[in-house]
Chain A
Amino acid sequence: MKLVFPANGTNLTAVIEPRFGRSPYFVCYDTETAIVESIPNDQNLSAAQGAGIQAATTVAGLGADYAVCSHCGPKAFRVLQAAGIKVICGAQGRLEDVIKDFEAGRLKETAAADVEGHWL
């Protein structure tokens, strides 16, 4: 099972970034192999708009089964859904702690975007 997190760093001591599309990195963790990969999100950090969409496309490219994040807007959610990726919102703190919570079954899949797009 591959989990992908928006994060402020490249390894499991990094913390979940509250903004999905503008996250500095995406960190991918494979629960079976314990392999950690990361990918910078530079391009979307400087995107004028639509960062969530492109970030979700990046997450799909990493082969994620789950996107584990703090918040997810409607556009990113739609992309993740189209890619068949399950979304968990409300996660925060260090990735290693969040992974423990996930493996203990304490995180629940989110059925819809939890924030309005663009906050207007």
Chain B
Amino acid sequence: MNIVIASGKGGTGKTTVAVSLARIWANDPESVVHLADCDVEAPNARLFLNAGRAASRPVRLPKPVIDAAECTACGKCAAACNYNALTVIAGRVLCFPELCHSCEVCSYVCPVQAVTYTPVEIGKIHRVEKGLPFTLSWGELAVGQVQAPDIIRELRSGLDPAAVNILDAAPGCGCAVRETFAAADAVVLVTEPTPFGLNDLRLAAELSLQLRLPTGIVINRSEGRDEIIEDFARDRGIPLLGKIPFERKYAESYSAGAILAVQYPEIAAFMRDLKKKIRILVSTVPSGGTAVFESCRETAPELFSALPPPPDLIQTVVISGKGGTGKTTLSAALAALRPGSTFFDADVDASNLPILLHGTRIASRKFTAGLKAFISSDRCTGCGECVAACRFKAIRQREDGGCEAVAGSCEGCGLCRLVCPADAVEMRPADTGYLHWSESEYGQLAHAFLNIGEENSGKLVTAVRNCAAALAGVGTGRHILGDGAPGAGCPVIAALTGCQLAIAVTEPTVSGIHDLKRVIKLAAHFGIATSVIINKADINPQQTEAVRELCRTEQISVLGEVPFDEAVGQALQEGKHLLEVPPCPARTAIEKISKQLKFEFNI
């Protein structure tokens, strides 16, 4: 039995639930329990476990090798490769295996058979058999590699179908999560009872229901008033499996890397109950049905092309190494203190800033990126050549014999178009999402919606940032304030470009400091000044001091510290930003930070 623990974005407590559930389930003498960490880009479940030595094995995929004696440097392979993994330079082909998707288009188009394939390591599968109450495995994608779904597929193939396998999915709803869901007998979605949580939950639930998987919801950080999630669960017919209360002590234990179910009997009891409910859940059939997102609609797209050229801009972006640090909460409060500025939300995977700023939609337009195969049913003869050729299993043959692309699986390599004898395949720009322009009482706002199951490469973020620049021409001010994307990858770089100042929001936790270091380095490389806000600063004084020390070493200012304040959770539950609630310690702190921002950076 495979149980996937997932959430629309990071920082909801997904890994905490997965680890605690595995720990408690392992007490059942009837069950053999295995925990598989499928977040192959940041596998950190093992950090909570004092795991012994892991056995590791490589994951290898075929990558092209060019026979220099045969190659005529005609350039056909480089032109056909949709992943830019090949280029012809100074009369020879240069190959970049880390960009290759192993689609084998290059060998197909080579007129002199100069392309062969050799297995190349793209990552590893690690497995711990001893020393824990359950067995543990995790996948690790090598740095700079792109084939996360292949690592997950390999990780899945090692699962014992007779065991209880708990799969900790990557955050978000991208192709890696889709691949993890493919193995699921049930999906448990972890969420928070806030409008943000709901927004992220809807996306993950949509993916799960599209795949017709039995799905349940766990509310984390509950303060008793969870109508926002309960109403959604009822509307979509998704059972609510339980609630974990919001307690400061849980946050403190998490920051110290503890397993909550070991430390707190009430969490252990919760996990025993969750286990029972999951056993029932797996035998249910989801009610299904596809939801329509109001974000997926074009309205007045012509307005975007009529925007004036941007003025000389002063741009600031709020970033954080990982999700769940309070980046958006602080961004919204800083925005509310800067009326007349222009704002953008670069977190296109789960855009939450418009919720807190109460934006009203002005215009929306479609955004396309990359290619996807479309098969014309008029021309398709049903020969099945494409089905056999596709390495991504992205084409299936219908009962009537015709072939069709499987939504979400096509990686756009174009081999099907090349092999099709009937010329029935067309590669079309793929709809990736929507770009939105909204207006709030504080100023114009640019944001976006990334379609479910799409990967965020940063291009939509660039479109959002450019849109904000143009909207600044509509407003009166020169200032732009953006809520950046989480992480330190491409979307963040796209958000940082053109900015003069990056405000890094961090938490005093081990992973928080680790991630802060990465974003500081990132901003420094692009010559962007950085200043730090320490959120929930009083939750772990030692770690907070470590953050201050890091900032001293890096010669970066600390704009301020925000204390742990239950009023923040209440404000978010009500969909309000901090300037809309009665004075509280967090609000006072952010007002002080805002003044410091004005004083130190004139922003």
Interface string of A68-107 (1 = CB under 8 A from B): 0011000100110011100000001000000000000000
Cα A29 to Cα B489 with chains together (Å):
33
Q: Are A79 and B527 in contact (CB under 8 A)?
A: no
Q: A2 interface residue, CB < 8 Å from B?
A: no
Closest partner residue, chain B, to A114 (CB atom): B525
Q: A19-B497, A48-B83 are in contact. Are A115 and B89 (CB under 8 A)?
A: no
Instruction: Give the interface size bracket for A toward B.
Output: 20 to 34
Contact of B493 with A53 in the complex, beta carbons under 8 Å:
no
Known contacts A54-B84, A79-B94, A119-B490; A49 and B89 CB within 8 A of each other? no
Tell whether, in the assembled complex, residue A118 and residue B84 are in contact, meaning their CB atoms are under 8 Å apart: no
- Chain A nearest CB: distance from B540 CB in Å? 27
Known: A18-B527, A50-B83. A119 touches B493 (CB 8 A): yes
| Closest A residue, CB atoms, query B370 | A48
Contacts of B89 in A (CB 8 A): 56-57, 60, 79, 82-83
Q: At the interface, yes or no: B99 with Cβ under 8 Å from chain A?
A: yes
B96 at the interface (CB under 8 A from A): yes
Does A46 count as interface, using CB distance less than 8 angstroms?
A: yes
Query: Complex formed: what's the CA distance from A51 to B525 in Å?
Result: 18
A118–B490 contact, CB under 8 A?
A: yes
| Interchain CB contact (< 8 A) of B96 among A18, A48, A53 | A53
A30 to B584, CA, bound (A): 62
Interface of B with A (CB < 8 Å)? Answer: 41, 83-85, 87-90, 92, 94, 96, 98-99, 143-144, 146, 369-370, 457, 459, 462, 488-490, 492-493, 497, 522, 525-527
**11 residue pairs A–B, Cβ–Cβ below 8 Å:** A46-B369, A46-B459, A48-B370, A48-B457, A50-B83, A50-B99, A53-B84, A82-B90, A84-B90, A119-B489, A120-B143
Would A115 and B369 count as touching, CB distance under 8 A?
A: no
Chain B residue numbers with a CB within 8 Å of A92 are 527
Determine the distance from Cα of A75 to Cα of B99 in the docked complex, in whole angstroms: 10
* Distance in Å: Cβ of B355 to nearest Cβ of chain A: 29
Q: Are B522 and A49 in contact (CB under 8 A)?
A: no
For A63, list chain B residues within 8 Å (CB): none
Q: CB < 8 Å: which of A50, A84, A115, A116 contacts B85?
A: A50
* Known A18-B526, A48-B370, A79-B94; 7 more pairs at CB < 8 Å: A46-B459, A49-B84, A70-B527, A82-B90, A116-B144, A117-B98, A120-B488
- Whether the Cβ atoms of A119 and B90 lie closer than 8 Å is no
Cα separation A92 to B526 with both chains bound (whole Å) = 10
Considering the complex, give the chain B residue whose CB is closest to the CB of A118: B144
A79 touching B87 by the CB < 8 A rule?
Answer: yes
Query: In chain B, what residue has the closest Cβ to A75?
Result: B96
Distance from A112 Cβ to chain B, minimum over Cβ atoms (Å): 15
A18 touches B144 (CB 8 A): no
- Taking a contact as CB atoms closer than 8 A, the residue among A19, A70, A71, A82 that contacts B94 in the complex is A82
Q: Which residues of chain A have C-beta atoms less than 8 A from B144's C-beta?
A: 116-118, 120
Interface presence of A111 (CB below 8 A): no
- The answer, yes or no, to whether A1 is at the interface (CB within 8 Å) is no
Residues in A neighbouring B488, C-beta threshold 8 A: 119-120
Q: Which residues of A contact B493 (CB under 8 A)?
A: 19, 119
In the complex, the chain A residue whose C-beta lies closest to that of B492 is A119
Complex contacts, B98 vs chain A, CB 8 Å: 117
With contacts A92-B527, A119-B493 taken as known, whether A49 is within 8 angstroms of B99 at the C-beta atoms is yes
Nearest neighbor of A50 in chain B, beta-carbon distance: B84
- Give the interface centre of B89, B90, B146, B488 by most chain A CB atoms within 10 Å: B89
B contact residues around A45 at 8 Å (CB): 459, 462
For the complex, what is the distance from the CA of A3 to the CA of B370, rounded to whole Å?
A: 32
Which 9 residue pairs spanning A and B have beta carbons closest together?
A50-B84, A57-B87, A82-B89, A83-B89, A50-B99, A48-B370, A18-B526, A48-B457, A53-B87
0/1 string, A1-42, CB within 8 A of B gives 1:
000000000000000001100100000000000000000000
Cα of A4 to Cα of B444 in the assembled complex, Å? 38
A50 and B370 CA atoms in complex are apart in Å by 13
A18 & B90 in contact (Cβ 8 Å cutoff): no
Taking a contact as CB atoms under 8 Å apart, the answer to whether A49 and B457 are in contact is yes
Given A48-B457, A48-B459, residue A18 in contact with residue B87 (CB < 8 A): no
Q: Report the separation of the CA atoms of residues A53 and B522 in the bound assembly, to the nearest whole angstrom.
A: 21
CA distance A60 to B78 in the complex (A): 15
How near does chain B come to A113, taking the closest CB pair, in angstroms? 12
What is the chain B residue whose CB lies nearest that of A8?
B498
Known: A48-B457, A49-B457, A53-B96. A120 touches B489 (CB 8 A): yes
Closest-by-CB residue of B relative to A81 is: B89
What residues on A are CB-neighbors of B90 within 8 Å?
Answer: 60, 82-84
Q: Least Cβ distance of A4 to chain B in Å?
A: 14
Q: Which of A18, A78, A119 has the most CB of B within 10 A?
A: A119
| Given A18-B497, A79-B94: A47 in contact with B84 (beta carbons within 8 A) | yes
Q: How far is the CB of A115 from chain B (nearest CB, A)?
A: 6
CA distance A1 to B497 in the complex (A): 30
Q: Within 8 Å CB of B459, what residues of A?
A: 45-46, 48
Alpha-carbon gap, A49 to B92, bound state (A):
21
In the assembled complex, which residues on chain B have CB atoms less than 8 Å from the CB atom of A83? 89-90
User: Chain B: which residue is nearest A78 at the CB level?
Assistant: B94
Q: Looking at the complex, which one of B84, B522, B527 makes contact with A51 (CB distance below 8 Å)?
A: B84
Q: Closest A residue to B92 by CB, please name it.
A: A82
- Residues in A with CB closer than 8 Å to B369 are 46, 48
Query: Are B490 and A71 in contact, CB atoms less than 8 angstroms apart?
Result: no
| Chain B residues with CB under 8 A of A117 | 98, 144
Q: How far is the CA of A19 from the CA of B29 in the complex (A)?
A: 56
A12–B110 Cα gap in the complex (Å)? 41
Cβ of B146: which chain A residues have Cβ within 8 Å of it? 49
Residue of B nearest to A70 (CB): B527
Q: Which residues of chain A have C-beta atoms less than 8 A from B87's C-beta?
A: 53-54, 56-57, 79
CA separation between A89 and B146, bound complex, in Å? 26
* B92 surroundings in chain A (CB, below 8 A): 82
Give the residues in chain A near B489, CB-CB below 8 Å. 118-120
Q: How far is the CA of A54 from the CA of B86 in the complex (A)?
A: 9
Q: Is B490 a contact partner of A115 (Cβ separation < 8 A)?
A: no
> How far, in angstroms, from A119 to B493 measured CA to CA in the complex?
8
